[in-house]
Amino acid sequence: MSVIETVFFTSLIILLGWFYTRKSTSFPIIVLLHSLYSLYALIQRSPNLFSRLRIPLTLPVDRIRALLLSEAGFGAGAGDGGLAVSMPMPPDLELLLSRLKTDESRGWFVRFGQRALQTCAPCTSAGDYALFVFAGALIAYVRTAAVLLLLTSSANGRDRWRGYVLGVLVCAALAEGYLLVSVSAAPLPRDGTRVFMWHDNIQFTRQALFLLLPILTQFLPEIQNPGPPSMSLAPALAHLERSIPRAHLLKYTRAAVMRDPELRERAVRWWTRKKREGDAGREDEAVQRAALKMGLGFADAEGGGEGKLRMSARMAIESLKGLFITPVGP
């Protein structure tokens, strides 16, 4: 299957998926365009004459020139010992062949790709090529970040995923910069075969990330933000309105209990039992040590002072007394 057929059928699948998801979710048209562009960049690999001609990285420049002329139909190429008709080449290709005369430039070819050596005329060092390559990659990262910001807006309920997806993108950019500057500077094999093309593989991985990350972000579950505080005021007010009659009822029934002998006796027994249970718990040394470790010590101090829990309860009662001031009548 050719590249054009692959792009066509994969684009058709993406379009069908977009029309399907459009019924239930807002899949922006810009995401569709970004996915198609990333797919094209993923399939259309960056130029690499060593991979295309299947030649070792250490092949002399004269042989590379002869093979290129033979591929273009000028000369017999390798069949006649590398002889070929002398034909002028495009300036960018001449610049590339002139730079491939040194081993250092061939290492730069592996690290920064053919396009950098072929188009960046002012570049003379590894730092220049790194800036040239990473500048283009940075624009692609910014474009993908803009698409992810669109997908994680508050309008579609995915704004809480924004930090995670952008974090993945930032980590990928940092990893690419580290690989480009440090790891890719490894020495090349002597025979020039089985060379790992760092630039081409990094670019392929980056385009695959740009294709998959927006699509996966679109299918993340929506997270509804909590409503404003005013939404919880109505239930609290209704609960308070129900509690006020209960408080009044408790005040009147407690007074009625003390007037009835039988109810008063039962109330005294109940409070006596609760006091006995409370005294047993407070006198238990294990309970005292556990409360002390939790900062809720209730045992009296050795100097006669009150425990921390009793002091806190006393302070709370004193603070509440000011709220129950009898209104001054006319």
Residue 197, Cβ density class (10 Å: 0-12 exposed, 13-18 middle, ≥19 buried): buried
- Tally of domains in the chain: 2
Q: Are residues 282 and 145 in the same domain?
A: no
Residue 177, Cβ density class (10 Å: 0-12 exposed, 13-18 middle, ≥19 buried): middle
- pTM of the full structure: 0.59
Torsion from C-alpha of 63, 65, 66, 69, nearest 10 degrees: 160
| Domain closes at, from 200, 218, 236 | 218
Helix 162-181 to helix 126-151 angle (10° resolution) is 170
Q: Are residues 147 and 293 in the same domain?
A: no
Asked, for residue 125, whether it belongs to a domain, the answer is yes
Stretch among 114-128, 160-174, 211-225, 312-326 having the lowest mean pLDDT: 312-326
Q: Are residues 148 and 255 in the same domain?
A: no
Q: How many CB atoms lie within 10 A of CB 110?
A: 21
Residue recorded with tokens 């990094």: 202
Asked, for residue 150, whether it belongs to a domain, the answer is yes
Q: Give the per-residue pLDDT at 181.
A: 82
Q: What average pLDDT score do residues 133-153 get?
A: 87
Q: Are residues 294 and 189 in the same domain?
A: no
Q: Are residues 35 and 173 in the same domain?
A: yes
Q: Are residues 171 and 276 in the same domain?
A: no
Q: Give the per-residue pLDDT at 84.
A: 47
Q: Give the per-residue pLDDT at 23.
A: 46
Asked, for residue 223, whether it belongs to a domain, the answer is no
Q: Are residues 64 and 187 in the same domain?
A: yes
Q: Give the per-residue pLDDT at 325.
A: 58
pLDDT digits (tens, 9 = 90+) for 191-219: 777 888 888 899 999 999 998 898 888 88
Q: Are residues 72 and 188 in the same domain?
A: yes
Phi first, then psi: what are they for 123, rounded to 5°? -70, 130
Asked, for residue 308, whether it belongs to a domain, the answer is no
What letter does residue 183 receive in the DSSP assignment? G
Asked, for residue 123, whether it belongs to a domain, the answer is yes
Q: Are residues 127 and 273 in the same domain?
A: no
Q: Which residue has the higher pLDDT, 320 or 32?
A: 32
Q: Provide the domain limits for residue 272.
A: 247-298
Q: Which residue has the higher pLDDT, 258 or 5?
A: 258
Q: Give the per-residue pLDDT at 166.
A: 92
Q: Are residues 292 and 171 in the same domain?
A: no
pLDDT digits (tens, 9 = 90+) for 316-330: 777 766 665 555 554
Q: Are residues 205 and 138 in the same domain?
A: yes
With cut-offs at 50, 70 and 90, classify the pLDDT of residue 15: low
